Structure 1
């Protein structure tokens, strides 16, 4: 299996993917094979890799995806700084737990308050849906809150560790309207400003909305 994965990465049509996004999924991948692939792609941030119970998914993000996730991160970080909220931006790290047999690379993630090994907030922009449910992975990793950006909307989910069975349809996450990590953040304003094409105008509109 590992040889076929290495051959896949070396294929010209994979190495030179253009917009739009493309997804490759394969199964029966061992943890050691997953780790070996991560090592091979350590200096290639173009690919986002997700692993769950032997299923491996490789995504080559589109320009649209990267633009939206960067804009979202810019506005979130502007808010955190403006409101003087202690935080650590973690970017898009590889977060994994061998015992849980899962690993992911969120588009952006943050520790709110003190820095931790596992981020409190993971943010994903979904342009093309894969076969692995990210909420299942983030629940097993222990991420408190997940924001999924899809079809011009942000869907927020908060982990309910004490009542996992009640929210089993979302793997123990409850869909919420207001972030419990950042309760004063106007999510509708954030959604609106993410899609303003000019970066400066987006930040100006977001800042003005925060003052209203």
Structure 2
């Protein structure tokens, strides 16, 4: 008998999912959790997903955050970082906690104060790391919030989505950083696996040379 083997699937997160929870039950669970928790909580119209990030997830999250910050600084842009702030939209029955969220184009509108999504625009860019399966439809979720640009990374592939009307369309270049090819993120992450300082220096040098 010939047995085939396949490489083990990367485990980037541990997830627990609950179904058929109303908004009040979600709020009770959210308030019962400690403020210093590491878990991400996403609520989407009755589905509650609790995600505990593991090493591969956190590496990608922190390094993609560094990638974005380097580009913003070197390109002379502005930024307001929300990180994993809970994006509460009770009117939509949705409340995600992204891995990273940023105001860049609309940074002047929210600079120096707390964001109120009932009156302020949504973040310009949201990043989601999903190395393992998620029951939440992230494209529909963030499209409903009106987030103009969504990045998704599954540990291997970086996908960029631009909101067009009420739906996302996958695009090959980031609308926020149109001159940066997708290959640059892959190179940056590969270098950072061996030396994060060198990856930082190499990316800055590349941006300055353009």
Change (3 A) 1:120 1:21: same
- Structure 2 counterpart of 1:189, from 180, 184, 189: 184
Alignment match of 2:52 (pick from 56, 60, 63): 60
Q: Where do 5+ consecutive residues of structure 2 fail to align?
A: 1-10
Normalized against structure 2, the TM-score is what?
0.82
* Residues 127-182 of structure 1, C-alpha deviations (whole Å, 9 max, x = no match): 11211111111011111110001242210001112xx4xxxxxxx10000011122
By relative contact order (CA 8 Å, sep 6+), the higher-ranking structure is 2
TM-score calculated relative to the size of structure 1 = 0.81
Taking the TM superposition and a 5 Å limit, the aligned residue runs for 1:1-212 are 21-113=13-105, 114=107, 115=110, 117=117, 118-161=122-165, 164=166, 172-196=167-191, 197=193, 198-210=195-207, 211-212=209-210
Runs of 4+ aligned structure 1 residues displaced above 4 Å come to none
Q: Do the aligned partners of 2:148 and 2:163 also contact (CA within 8 Å) in 1? A: yes
Indicate the structure with greater helix content. 1
Q: Aligned residues, how many? A: 185
- Cα deviation, residue 88, structure 1: 0.9
Query: Which runs of 5 or more structure 1 residues have no equivalent in the other structure?
Result: 1-18, 165-171
